[in-house]
Amino acid sequence: MSAVAVLLIAVGIADGWRRLSRSVWLPLVTGPAVIVVCAALCGLWHARDIVPLGLAALAAVAWEVLCLRSERTGGHQRPALAVMVVALAVLIILSGLGSHAGGLAARWAHWVALPLGSVTPTRLLMVVGVVLLQLATGNQLIRLVLGAVGAVRPAGQPQPSDKLKGGRLLGAMERLLILSLGLGGQVFMDASRLPASPQPHGR
């Protein structure tokens, strides 16, 4: 699953750069560059890692290209969504090919004594990828889904969300909060711990 985590990290960082810089070429370069850096830091340099990491790099570039085209035209959302779904599915199926994360990242996590108990470096890498996914990429996925149903216009035209730009920040904050609760084991609420509601007194 290391390649899946690396793909999420690469896409999350590349999407963030695309939002901050509005550059065309920078996100295309960022994805593969992040994958190379992650592979070096996490010890994913074995021969069996070449195929999954190569597929992750291709998927990251294809995702950015299709997202840029979708934003310009206001259409073609389905190919971008399909690339993400297919890439994740293929990398999950091929997850047995890749090696587990280790290297400098694992030694650093042990050195700083992160309070994560028995979390392996691979799971830690996945947590980083999922957290980054909640930021710019989460908003991008929502825009693609809305565009697929005709709720987003081409770039340069007034958007229905122009008056509610704070929703982009609030949406990311909400997703991070839900993710934090899930990582903390607070997924379900225990109704037995809630205070009992006062009963009305009869006359």
Q: What does 91-105 look like in DSSP terms, one character per residue?
A: HHHTTTTSPPP-HHH
Asked, for residue 195, whether it belongs to a domain, the answer is no
Q: What is the pLDDT of residues 146-203, one digit of tens each?
A: 777 665 655 555 555 555 554 555 555 555 565 555 555 554 545 455 455 555 555 4
What is the count of structural domains for the chain? 1
What range defines the domain where residue 98 resides? 2-155+165-184
User: What whole-number percentage of the chain has pLDDT above 70?
Assistant: 69
Give the mean pLDDT of the chain.
77
Asked, for residue 46, whether it belongs to a domain, the answer is yes
Asked, for residue 193, whether it belongs to a domain, the answer is no
10-49 exposure pattern, b = at least 16 Cβ within 10 A, e = fewer: bbbbbbbbbeeeeeeeebbebbbbbbbebbebbbbeeeeb
Asked, for residue 200, whether it belongs to a domain, the answer is no
